[in-house]
Every structure is written in C-alpha cells, then in structure tokens.
Chain A
C-alpha cells in the first residue's frame, strides 16, 4: 500500500538553527500538507500546497516557515530560525485533488518527524 514517508524521524537542534523536514508524498497525489502536534496537544494545520504554491496557511505558519517541492517527489518544510516552542511532531500528508478520479477526501499522513529544539 502506498504511504507517505518522512525524514528524519527525530531531529535535535539548537535554538536559532535552521531545520529542514522532508517528506515523500504518495506519487499520484497533487495536494500536500504539513501539520504539527505539540506534545499532549491537538494536531494543528500549518499549510497546504497545490500546483507549486501555498493554497492556505494557518496563523502558526509565519515568516520563519517555508515549504518547497524541489523536485517531483519531495516536499519540504523549512524552519529558518528555530525557537523552543517549535518543538513538536511534524506530520506531512498528501491527498488527491478535489474531483480527481480517485478522490475520497482522505488525507494520508506520514509517521511524523519529531523536532526537539534545545
């Protein structure tokens, strides 16, 4: 069964450092997302990406964050200058686009990348 894969599974970084989290979405999906979950809290939407541009972003997704699809397979989340409060699990997800033949409205999530900022 196709799956979304994320790397690294865990990254420890110092405050102020740049971090890039990588995701390989399911190959025929056209919508890509990042969500995060701070320990013990809700899963929160960060950003959606379609047709090589951001479709929607939340208030959390400020200028410190950026997303990119550098090639045909990877989807990345960059945090420019990490803060302590960026410590969280970051989940990548992908889906078909609305009305695409196989679209069921389902988002497929990866296992997550745990970011620890010291």
Chain B
C-alpha cells in the first residue's frame, strides 16, 4: 500500500468554482501535512502546511486534515485560471520513524477554464 494516494485527475472546473482536492494516507504516525502547487516545467511550491487535525485558511485556500479517517483536503474558493496547475499533497512525521522522509501523492492536475 502506498503511503499517500491521490486522484491524478485531470479536474476541470469553470472560473469561480470551489475546488476540492483530496488525498488519503496510510499511517497514523504522520503528523504534518503539506500541499504544493506545481506549474508546468517548474518546481513544487509550498502552498499550505498543517499540523495534526483541523483546518487552516490562507486567503482563498483552506487545508483540512481528518486524522480519524486519514484524509486531507485542499479547498480553493473562487478559483482562477491562474490556479491551473498540478497540486501535490505530502505527509511526514518528525519522529525517528521514517526520519527525513516526505511522502508525496502523485498530484492532481487542475484546469480552471475562463
């Protein structure tokens, strides 16, 4: 079983829509959760980072973690064409288990149509 599973999409939405991107993970030891945005031919850019369960909001972006179901989500409100990119989720734990290991989803490609 992979540590992180993510639907590759592509996901196509009209401008202004609310986008929901999701990942599931396998190990309850993971405590830190990240979302990256990657534009074509560029490196992944850290968008959001959360610790443990709950929500974190930053502008139009909300990251949500449900540790009981090992499910993480990224919501984008009022989506814009400039949000068109591939979104990767990542998880890690800071303990001795899997030291310095970050596990990434395969990425979901999002297309926001004008």
Bound pair: A and B?
Answer: no
